[in-house]
Chains A and B, each alone.
Chain A
């Protein structure tokens, strides 16, 4: 019998560590996947004057992203073809979000930084909460 030393170039510190991490709150990011059409993880935050949408899009530059608004539906599409044609390095995202009522669609602005797409969605002046002083 021939014995061959198994010498993988790297491995996780310990499979037990991963189980331990899961059990005690050290979680693995699961919000995005490569190699297939997927749904990116999203947060929606409501402020006094605007909504802020945050979308995880790591690995994508702004030229790979397409953001469209159709009435009250905001659609984000992302496509990045791989140079080496391997499925594992291709990225495809798509997500449509129903926007809340009372927004100013003309004032929507988006920025991309460190793999997070941040979309500022201003509320229309009618929808903003106004404080009324009592005389």
Chain B
């Protein structure tokens, strides 16, 4: 993460794993990933091989001039997490919605095709 001398960062240059949940939805699963402070245009969601890789940057991480931190609890750094998808997930139908600091990633299963085999 780039830092400048004129804009001291509250946040150290590090990466953190976001808090996340897995929920069951109709014909699939939903990943809820909590990304407080991340702007939508900084979020990148990519599928590489069988991995789903999420990165997001926290934008408001600079201190005003002559300001100091009195108390700090919010974890620092940008977000990064990856999940391994199994072959039941339809990669082409992954969708994501970002609202109020939470990214909902919907993973849908590939429909199973059951073929009857007649016995001669």
Contact = CB atoms under 8 A, between A and B. Distances in A.
Nearest to B33: A58
Interface of B: 10, 14-19, 21-23, 28-29, 31-32, 34-40, 51-52, 59-60, 63-64, 66-75, 77, 80, 82-86, 88-89, 100-102, 107, 109
A13 B34 contact: no
A88 B35 contact: no
A18 B17 contact: yes
11 contacts: A10-B107, A27-B14, A29-B16, A42-B74, A43-B10, A51-B70, A59-B32, A61-B100, A114-B37, A114-B39, A115-B100
Contacts of B64: 45, 47, 52
Size bracket, chain A contacts: 35 or more
Contacts, number: 149
A10 B84 contact: yes
Which of B37, B73, B85 is most buried by chain A, counting CB atoms within 10 A of its CB? B73
A114 B15 CA distance: 18
Sorted nearest first, the 6 A-B pairs with minimum C-beta distance are: A115-B101, A58-B101, A115-B36, A47-B67, A41-B73, A44-B71
A47 B37 CA distance: 20
Interface of A: 7-13, 18, 21, 25-34, 41-48, 51-52, 54, 56-61, 88-89, 100, 112, 114-116, 118
Contact of B67 (A13, A46, A100): A46
B73 A48 contact: no
Contacts of B21: 34, 88
A46 B68 contact: yes
B82 A13 contact: yes
A10 B86 contact: yes
